[in-house]
Amino acid sequence: MPDITINGRDGDFSAYLSTPAAGSGPGLLVIQEIFGVNQSMRQMCDDFAAQGYVALCPDIFWRQEPGIQITDKTDEEWQKAFQLFQGFDVDKGIEDLKDSLAALRGMDACSGKAGTVGYCLGGKLAFLMATRSDADCNIGYYGVGLDDLLSEIGGISKPLMLHIAEKDDYCPPETQAKLRDSLGTHPQTTLHFYPGMPHAFARAGGIHYDADAATLANGRTYDFLKQHLG
Protein backbone atom coordinates (compact mmCIF):
# COMPACT_ATOMS: atom_id res chain seq x y z
CA MET A 1 0.00 0.00 0.00
CA PRO A 2 1.26 3.54 -0.68
CA ASP A 3 2.36 6.46 1.40
CA ILE A 4 0.33 9.53 0.52
CA THR A 5 0.63 13.24 1.33
CA ILE A 6 -1.74 15.06 3.68
CA ASN A 7 -2.08 18.78 3.06
CA GLY A 8 -2.21 20.03 6.64
CA ARG A 9 -2.91 23.53 7.88
CA ASP A 10 0.75 23.99 8.89
CA GLY A 11 2.38 22.00 6.10
CA ASP A 12 2.38 18.73 4.21
CA PHE A 13 3.17 15.40 5.85
CA SER A 14 3.05 11.76 4.83
CA ALA A 15 0.65 9.01 5.83
CA TYR A 16 0.41 5.30 5.16
CA LEU A 17 -2.83 4.29 3.45
CA SER A 18 -4.26 0.79 3.31
CA THR A 19 -7.54 0.10 1.52
CA PRO A 20 -9.80 -2.95 1.68
CA ALA A 21 -10.05 -5.46 -1.16
CA ALA A 22 -13.52 -4.16 -1.94
CA GLY A 23 -11.99 -0.78 -2.77
CA SER A 24 -14.04 1.19 -0.26
CA GLY A 25 -15.27 1.15 3.31
CA PRO A 26 -15.61 3.24 6.45
CA GLY A 27 -12.59 5.30 7.39
CA LEU A 28 -10.25 4.55 10.27
CA LEU A 29 -7.47 6.89 11.39
CA VAL A 30 -4.73 4.76 12.96
CA ILE A 31 -2.59 6.79 15.38
CA GLN A 32 1.03 5.79 15.81
CA GLU A 33 3.06 4.84 18.86
CA ILE A 34 6.30 6.64 19.73
CA PHE A 35 8.19 4.63 17.09
CA GLY A 36 6.74 6.39 14.07
CA VAL A 37 4.83 4.97 11.13
CA ASN A 38 6.89 1.80 11.25
CA GLN A 39 6.26 -1.72 10.04
CA SER A 40 4.15 -2.50 13.11
CA MET A 41 1.78 0.40 12.42
CA ARG A 42 1.66 -0.40 8.73
CA GLN A 43 0.72 -3.99 9.50
CA MET A 44 -2.04 -2.78 11.82
CA CYS A 45 -3.40 -0.67 8.98
CA ASP A 46 -3.31 -3.68 6.67
CA ASP A 47 -5.11 -5.75 9.29
CA PHE A 48 -7.85 -3.13 9.61
CA ALA A 49 -8.11 -2.93 5.82
CA ALA A 50 -8.61 -6.70 5.81
CA GLN A 51 -11.59 -6.06 8.11
CA GLY A 52 -13.05 -3.68 5.52
CA TYR A 53 -11.76 -0.27 6.65
CA VAL A 54 -9.87 2.42 4.78
CA ALA A 55 -6.99 2.76 7.24
CA LEU A 56 -4.77 5.85 7.32
CA CYS A 57 -1.76 6.29 9.62
CA PRO A 58 -0.31 9.85 9.50
CA ASP A 59 3.24 10.80 10.46
CA ILE A 60 2.64 12.94 13.56
CA PHE A 61 6.37 13.39 14.21
CA TRP A 62 6.87 15.25 10.92
CA ARG A 63 7.42 18.59 12.66
CA GLN A 64 10.47 17.13 14.42
CA GLU A 65 11.80 14.55 11.98
CA PRO A 66 9.73 13.23 9.05
CA GLY A 67 9.65 9.57 8.18
CA ILE A 68 10.58 8.01 11.54
CA GLN A 69 10.40 4.19 11.43
CA ILE A 70 12.09 2.58 14.42
CA THR A 71 11.38 -0.42 16.67
CA ASP A 72 11.35 -1.30 20.36
CA LYS A 73 14.30 -3.67 20.03
CA THR A 74 17.35 -1.55 21.00
CA ASP A 75 18.26 0.99 23.67
CA GLU A 76 19.24 3.48 20.97
CA GLU A 77 15.79 3.25 19.39
CA TRP A 78 14.08 3.68 22.76
CA GLN A 79 16.16 6.78 23.45
CA LYS A 80 15.23 8.18 20.05
CA ALA A 81 11.55 7.37 20.62
CA PHE A 82 11.46 9.10 24.02
CA GLN A 83 13.27 12.11 22.57
CA LEU A 84 10.55 12.43 19.95
CA PHE A 85 7.82 11.85 22.54
CA GLN A 86 9.21 14.56 24.82
CA GLY A 87 9.46 17.02 21.93
CA PHE A 88 5.96 16.29 20.65
CA ASP A 89 3.41 19.12 20.74
CA VAL A 90 0.12 17.44 21.64
CA ASP A 91 -2.10 20.33 20.56
CA LYS A 92 -0.39 20.59 17.17
CA GLY A 93 -0.61 16.82 16.86
CA ILE A 94 -4.37 16.94 17.34
CA GLU A 95 -4.59 19.57 14.61
CA ASP A 96 -2.65 17.24 12.29
CA LEU A 97 -4.99 14.39 13.18
CA LYS A 98 -8.05 16.50 12.50
CA ASP A 99 -6.60 17.42 9.11
CA SER A 100 -5.88 13.73 8.47
CA LEU A 101 -9.42 12.78 9.47
CA ALA A 102 -10.82 15.37 7.06
CA ALA A 103 -8.57 14.07 4.29
CA LEU A 104 -9.68 10.51 5.02
CA ARG A 105 -13.34 11.43 4.87
CA GLY A 106 -12.74 13.22 1.58
CA MET A 107 -11.31 10.15 -0.15
CA ASP A 108 -13.42 8.41 -2.75
CA ALA A 109 -12.64 5.11 -1.01
CA CYS A 110 -14.17 6.29 2.27
CA SER A 111 -17.79 5.28 2.14
CA GLY A 112 -19.12 7.21 5.11
CA LYS A 113 -18.26 7.37 8.79
CA ALA A 114 -14.69 7.56 10.10
CA GLY A 115 -13.21 6.85 13.53
CA THR A 116 -9.83 6.62 15.22
CA VAL A 117 -7.74 3.98 16.96
CA GLY A 118 -4.47 4.76 18.69
CA TYR A 119 -1.72 2.99 20.61
CA CYS A 120 0.48 4.27 23.47
CA LEU A 121 0.95 7.96 22.59
CA GLY A 122 -1.71 7.29 19.96
CA GLY A 123 -4.01 6.01 22.70
CA LYS A 124 -3.72 9.37 24.43
CA LEU A 125 -4.41 11.14 21.16
CA ALA A 126 -7.42 8.92 20.42
CA PHE A 127 -8.83 10.03 23.79
CA LEU A 128 -8.27 13.65 22.79
CA MET A 129 -9.89 13.03 19.41
CA ALA A 130 -12.92 11.88 21.41
CA THR A 131 -12.94 15.15 23.37
CA ARG A 132 -11.87 17.58 20.63
CA SER A 133 -12.96 16.22 17.24
CA ASP A 134 -16.05 14.97 15.42
CA ALA A 135 -14.71 11.47 14.79
CA ASP A 136 -17.59 8.99 14.82
CA CYS A 137 -15.92 6.73 17.38
CA ASN A 138 -12.53 6.44 19.07
CA ILE A 139 -10.46 3.60 20.54
CA GLY A 140 -7.35 3.90 22.71
CA TYR A 141 -4.94 1.11 23.56
CA TYR A 142 -2.91 1.66 26.76
CA GLY A 143 -2.94 5.45 26.42
CA VAL A 144 -0.38 7.42 28.41
CA GLY A 145 -1.05 10.46 30.59
CA LEU A 146 -4.83 10.13 30.53
CA ASP A 147 -5.24 11.24 34.15
CA ASP A 148 -4.02 14.70 33.13
CA LEU A 149 -6.80 14.95 30.54
CA LEU A 150 -9.86 14.01 32.55
CA SER A 151 -10.99 17.64 32.73
CA GLU A 152 -11.90 17.26 29.04
CA ILE A 153 -14.39 14.40 29.40
CA GLY A 154 -17.28 16.82 28.97
CA GLY A 155 -16.35 16.97 25.30
CA ILE A 156 -16.99 13.25 24.72
CA SER A 157 -20.13 12.95 22.62
CA LYS A 158 -19.32 9.87 20.49
CA PRO A 159 -18.47 6.31 21.56
CA LEU A 160 -15.03 5.82 23.14
CA MET A 161 -13.40 2.52 24.06
CA LEU A 162 -10.24 2.27 26.16
CA HIS A 163 -8.08 -0.84 26.52
CA ILE A 164 -6.13 -0.58 29.79
CA ALA A 165 -3.23 -2.84 30.79
CA GLU A 166 -3.37 -3.39 34.54
CA LYS A 167 0.44 -3.79 34.82
CA ASP A 168 1.19 -0.78 32.63
CA ASP A 169 4.18 1.15 34.02
CA TYR A 170 2.85 4.25 32.27
CA CYS A 171 -0.65 3.94 33.73
CA PRO A 172 -0.23 3.09 37.44
CA PRO A 173 -3.04 1.81 39.69
CA GLU A 174 -3.94 5.28 40.96
CA THR A 175 -4.41 6.46 37.38
CA GLN A 176 -6.52 3.44 36.58
CA ALA A 177 -8.69 4.21 39.61
CA LYS A 178 -9.23 7.76 38.34
CA LEU A 179 -10.25 6.38 34.95
CA ARG A 180 -12.75 4.00 36.53
CA ASP A 181 -14.22 6.76 38.69
CA SER A 182 -14.48 9.39 35.95
CA LEU A 183 -15.25 7.30 32.87
CA GLY A 184 -16.68 4.06 34.21
CA THR A 185 -20.25 5.38 34.19
CA HIS A 186 -19.96 7.75 31.24
CA PRO A 187 -22.70 6.87 28.73
CA GLN A 188 -20.35 7.03 25.74
CA THR A 189 -17.35 5.24 27.25
CA THR A 190 -16.43 1.56 27.50
CA LEU A 191 -13.40 0.51 29.58
CA HIS A 192 -11.66 -2.86 29.31
CA PHE A 193 -8.97 -3.82 31.83
CA TYR A 194 -6.44 -6.59 31.13
CA PRO A 195 -5.16 -8.28 34.31
CA GLY A 196 -1.43 -8.98 34.40
CA MET A 197 -0.80 -7.29 31.08
CA PRO A 198 2.04 -4.81 30.53
CA HIS A 199 2.09 -1.77 28.28
CA ALA A 200 1.98 -2.55 24.55
CA PHE A 201 0.63 -6.08 24.96
CA ALA A 202 -1.06 -5.82 21.55
CA ARG A 203 2.03 -4.79 19.55
CA ALA A 204 2.57 -7.88 17.39
CA GLY A 205 6.25 -8.79 17.45
CA GLY A 206 6.92 -6.39 20.32
CA ILE A 207 8.80 -7.31 23.46
CA HIS A 208 5.60 -7.33 25.57
CA TYR A 209 3.25 -8.92 23.04
CA ASP A 210 0.68 -11.32 24.48
CA ALA A 211 -1.26 -13.18 21.81
CA ASP A 212 -4.27 -14.07 23.96
CA ALA A 213 -4.79 -10.58 25.35
CA ALA A 214 -4.17 -9.01 21.96
CA THR A 215 -6.71 -11.30 20.32
CA LEU A 216 -9.28 -10.44 22.99
CA ALA A 217 -8.67 -6.69 22.69
CA ASN A 218 -8.63 -6.71 18.91
CA GLY A 219 -11.85 -8.71 18.79
CA ARG A 220 -13.50 -6.14 21.01
CA THR A 221 -12.14 -3.40 18.76
CA TYR A 222 -13.50 -5.03 15.60
CA ASP A 223 -16.93 -5.47 17.20
CA PHE A 224 -16.92 -1.84 18.38
CA LEU A 225 -15.96 -0.54 14.94
CA LYS A 226 -18.60 -2.66 13.23
CA GLN A 227 -21.22 -1.34 15.63
CA HIS A 228 -20.33 2.33 15.26
CA LEU A 229 -18.87 2.61 11.75
CA GLY A 230 -20.67 -0.19 9.96
Write out the catalytic residue numbers: 168, 199
d(CA 123, CA 171): 12
Residue 147 gets the label, from left (phi > 0), alpha (psi -120 to 50) or beta, of alpha
Output the CA–CA distances (angstroms, integers) from residue 148 to 59, 143, 151, 175, in the order listed.
Answer: 24, 11, 8, 9
Query: Roughly what angle, to the nearest 10 degrees, separates helices 90-105 and 121-132?
Result: 70
SS3 74: coil
